[in-house]
Structure 1
């Protein structure tokens, strides 16, 4: 309650029994609709990132809703009671959030221990930091990029946001009451909150300097807090219990227009704002927080129609279960996709199956874990335990549920105990490491010879003379091994080549440099298209970018035409680009990535596609067990295809 001076009253105006609902408190059904929009965006993004590249922005929407609801309820409690029951608040939050989180951690840990031991690494630290709501900071130092969809994706990665919310629930009530006691004026508090939000957003922009700092800004509490602060700011200036239901027609449609425009802006950013875009971290997420706040403001006002428009049985069901849906999405997706080796053949069908599994598990969790434990009176725990062990217990056969529960906890605990802190290297990883080491040595030699080789390649007479030379016994054996004719081998043998790629090229680097003696190879596990520009620019500045550029990117994440345009621009004129399309049947973006690469070849005259996908189709004997990375036999065929394709385009007439 505020007095005429706009100050928050410190006088207790209502008495309230512990646990009784706050007087005049409103359940705003449209918020379930907003939660539904947020979680649907996140799910679709994770399943079909090519279709909804900005769906990850559902998380900031969740943050703004949480900031508004928690602050609004705390201020209502302060106004009615003149104080806030902190312990009661914390207890309610734990009862709401902890049961499903613990079940997800234990269930996922059990599955990993029994069926997916390749994911055991750091399980103990992951579970511990999640239970303490510190996982986002652990992710900054140990986790992978949120946008790396292939390289050892963790079923826990998405839990970073729950840690930020947990930290907010712990600290925010204390800060809020300190501001109420010291500042008291809502207007001044609002200005202070806006300033803090701006500082947080500025930190995100300043700390983001490229892909290497992405984890820091994406997972950091300080760089993400502005979204929650916006929600809190709205609660201070737009309290749900102070808004008038009766407003003029003009005011009603002003609110409706604001809500509709905000919704349209959110949808636009869902489709257009990629997580690798620099603008995302230097204004994009801030803008998303602003429009989310505007939509929530319109929805919260009883005089507008937005709340009614966002209220329906489907949104209500999804919204009330959005916490569970968010929790279980990654484990379901990752475990399912690890078992299905040909996701790319039917991406929509598999997406529907995964959504169905997520919804079923979320519904079971809501009915049998979240709802019962949320309303359980924990002060009766001792009595319940005593009753549980009685011969004629009222729990009857329900007690049998303790057997699988104990097994789950025991297996998960065992997995945590035996979990290594570093990944054990398998055959593929050992191969990549050895080939990368070999490539780094060969790179120095290649750079030293490239300028001379370039002069030879550009001189038709000297090149023709070179092609007429007889192969040495070693050259003959190499050409025979890789299935190349004399002309094909000699054409590429002395050609300067800069190769940029991910783990596919890292694994192939030794074979590539065996045939292309003047090849410089820059390949890294997990590399994605938005990281290529920096590598190319650095080589170009040093004059070390060869006239022929080979690129193998697209395995680890989807890509857009705009991202390929940036790579082409970074390469610049006077260079030929040979782009190897991707063979990644375990991911649903394979077809779209290859179509995007093919589209670029039609746009740029110096852009050529090497069709590794078509060449290796239905040849599982060419790949390691992941059906993505070529094995030693596959590397021979990969190199053969690259050499043949490049020699064809470089053929002297």
Structure 2
């Protein structure tokens, strides 16, 4: 039976890939762009199941080996090339991103990347793309697991239920409902939902929705369904409204909103099913709406665009002075399209179409002559480059132990601060200094006494949490509040809470700025102004940041805003951590090149003491 190519599906692919790309570029605008992945899941479930059912209907069997080979040729060459070429780039221009590249590669090859990312505890929703240029590969692994098991499951279902597709549809509905219920039950407000977002079990319902639709509404049967004029008009209206609702979801369904996990993704997937059903039917207008040369071009290259999007956006983000400016975004998109087109023409299409017969022609005399004369030099150079990249992948550093140690220390320190804050007490003066403490931090008895006669609150993000043990040895009577991941937008509430509970505080030491706001902006002048209003006449000492050797780029912007505040307010003072540690990061910082190591924590404490006692 000849397969009908449904051109409108390219339009759906284009919508999906653009939603995902712009979600990563403008997350504050395209709040629901992540749903583009759900669109791909539903569409993939429908297409794969429809293809398998056609084969089963025609021959009474499914050639699983041939199916998997087609999937391998379709997905793996481009995926591997993107990882290897990105590895070469990172080696020469951004080596810190090579961390754990070996596991990224292996987990992606074996289609378990999503579970590996869950196990290592990363967050998809930090939206700091530089943390993981391949974090989006989680979805490829979910689909890879589906491809691996689904053909056999289809065979079993068809035989157990004796080709009763309605019964199979009902069974799949029950399974997808269980998947959705698991997502709903696992979601907890205020808790990072990465585990739910990455899990095969909790995302399976989108794929199964498309699969279930294929059982009761296969594309070949849709062709034979004749619709009256009124019915066509009604269904066209339904399809148009569905497209509008999907568009609204892309803009107004945030990725960590409770509704997304307790009905939103399910509803979105269901609407995609409606749109697929309307696109499949040849008498409806949806296929025409979604079919044109632009959608055909972009839809056919959506896979490559998906692979390249975060690596390109990451590299641009790290190398351009103003990565969020319109010229930078346009440059990133141009690079994305060029790389996508190159790998599409040179890798994806040729290897997808290659056959054993073509391979065997190389063993003929004519084939050998052509190969040696034309393709051998190109093949040798390409093979050498990819081999070098593969070597770099498997020799990439694994800093997971060091990162885990940092995480453990932060958790322990935060737990100690939380214990202190359970029973807030008025700030008191410190106790007499231990000579070992004075010697350790290189401070005088006079300065130690001075800072402990002040009523000090030391507040901020993980920089404060990381150095808490050292700070608390010197600032024995201070109030501490440091939290991992605290954004500048949370600074106002942090200061308000402190001055309310401890009105006697007269010195605020603030370490805030290494993280970005929800809208991906760094510490803003307006946020500093708000905090200064709450601080009133208190002396505010704000510690600037040094992220120059990390994967983050907003050091200059944050420090510039702090310098402006220093000039604007008489009671505002900048503590120059950047000046102390610039070009000395290996001496003062941990593996992440963000937080102070043991020596850095001592220096961090000392520089605060010096700032507060400066004559």
2:455 maps to 1:494: yes
Q: CA deviation at 1:587?
A: 7.1
Of 412, 425, 431, the match for 1:451: 425
Residue number among 159, 165, 169 corresponding to 2:147 in the alignment: 169
1:622 Cα deviation after fit: 7.7
Distance 1:27 1:251 in 2: 24
Q: Provide TM-score, normalisation by structure 2.
A: 0.75
Specify every segment of 5 or more residues in structure 1 that has no aligned partner in the other structure, as ranges: 1-21, 457-472, 480-485, 562-574, 595-608, 645-653
CA-CA distance at 1:122 after TM superposition = 2.5
Per-residue displacement from partner, 1:473-529 (whole Å, max 9, x unpaired)? 9697479xxxxxx9xx899x32566x35245774699669967942223332xx266
Looking at structure 2, the residues matched to 401 and 88 of structure 1 have their Cα atoms a distance apart, in angstroms, of 30
> Which residue number in structure 2 is paired with residue 67 of structure 1?
45
Match of 1:522 among 471, 482, 485: 482
Give matches, 1:247-266, under 5 Å. Answer: 247-266=227-246
For 1:93 and 1:263, how far apart are their aligned partners in 2?
29
Instruction: Say if 1:494 and 1:516, in contact at 8 Å, map to a contact too.
Output: no
**Aligned partners of 2:125 and 2:96: how far apart in 1?**
20
Question: Equivalent residues in 2 for 1:11-22 (5 A)?
Answer: 22=1
**Residue in 2 that maps onto 1:571:** none
Following TM superposition, by how much is the alpha carbon of 1:302 offset from its aligned partner in structure 2, in angstroms? 1.4
Q: Is the 8 A contact 1:148 1:557 kept in 2?
A: no
The equivalent position to 1:56 in structure 2, one of 34, 37, 43, is: 34
Partner of 1:304: 284
Aligned length: 554
Superposed CA offset, 1:392-442 (max 9, x none): 32563332222332222322232233233335869xx99x89996996698
Distance 2:572 2:48 in 1: 51
Q: Out of 85, 89, 99, which is 1:111 matched to?
A: 89
Residues 592 and 291 of structure 1: CA distance in aligned 2, closer, same or farther (over 3 Å)? farther
Following superposition, the deviation at residue 334 of structure 1 comes to 1.9
Alpha-carbon distance between aligned partners in 2 of 1:368 and 1:409, rounded to the nearest angstrom = 14
1:393 aligned counterpart, secondary structure: helix
Distance 1:124 1:423, change over 3 A: same
1:192-228: CA deviations, max 9, x gaps?
A: 1111111001111222335656232111111111000
Q: Structure 1 residues 620 and 494, CA, compared in 2 at 3 Å: closer, same or farther?
A: closer
Distance 2:141 2:408 in 1: 38
Task: State the shift of 1:366 in Å.
Answer: 0.9
Q: Who is 1:399 aligned against?
A: 376
| CA RMSD after TM alignment | 4.8
| 8 Å contact from structure 1 (residues 581, 613) kept in 2 | no
Q: Aligned match of 1:187 in 160, 166, 187?
A: 166
Q: Quick check: 1:229 aligned with 2:190?
A: no
Q: Give the distance between the partners of 2:372 and 2:112, measured in 1 at CA.
A: 36
Equivalent residues in 2 for 1:414-433, closer than 5 Å:
414-423=391-400
- Residues in 1 aligned to 2:572 and 2:246: alpha-carbon distance in whole angstroms: 36
Change (3 A) 1:101 1:434: closer
| Shift of residue 48, structure 1, vs aligned partner | 2.1
Work out whether residues 200 and 223 of structure 1, in 8 Å CA contact, stay in contact via their aligned partners in 2.
yes
Q: Work out the CA distance in 2 between the residues paired with 1:612 and 1:79.
A: 79
Change (3 A) 1:87 1:447: closer
Which residue in the other structure is 1:572 paired with? Answer: none
- For structure 2, the residue ranges without an aligned partner over 5 or more in a row are 430-442, 521-533, 560-567
Taking a change above 3 Å as real, the CA distance of residues 354 and 80 of structure 1, as seen in their structure-2 partners, is same
- Whether 1:352 aligns to 2:313 is no
Residues 217 and 368 from structure 1, CA distance in 2 versus in 1: closer, same or farther, beyond 3 angstroms? same
The range that moved more, 204-213 or 324-333, is 204-213
User: Residue 614 and residue 333 in structure 1: after superposition, are their counterparts in 2 closer, same or farther (change >3 A)?
Assistant: farther
- Could you tell me how far 1:555 is from its partner in structure 2? 4.9
**CA distance in structure 1 between the aligned counterparts of 2:557 and 2:297, rounded to whole angstroms:** 32
Pick one of 39, 46, 56 that aligns with 1:78: 56
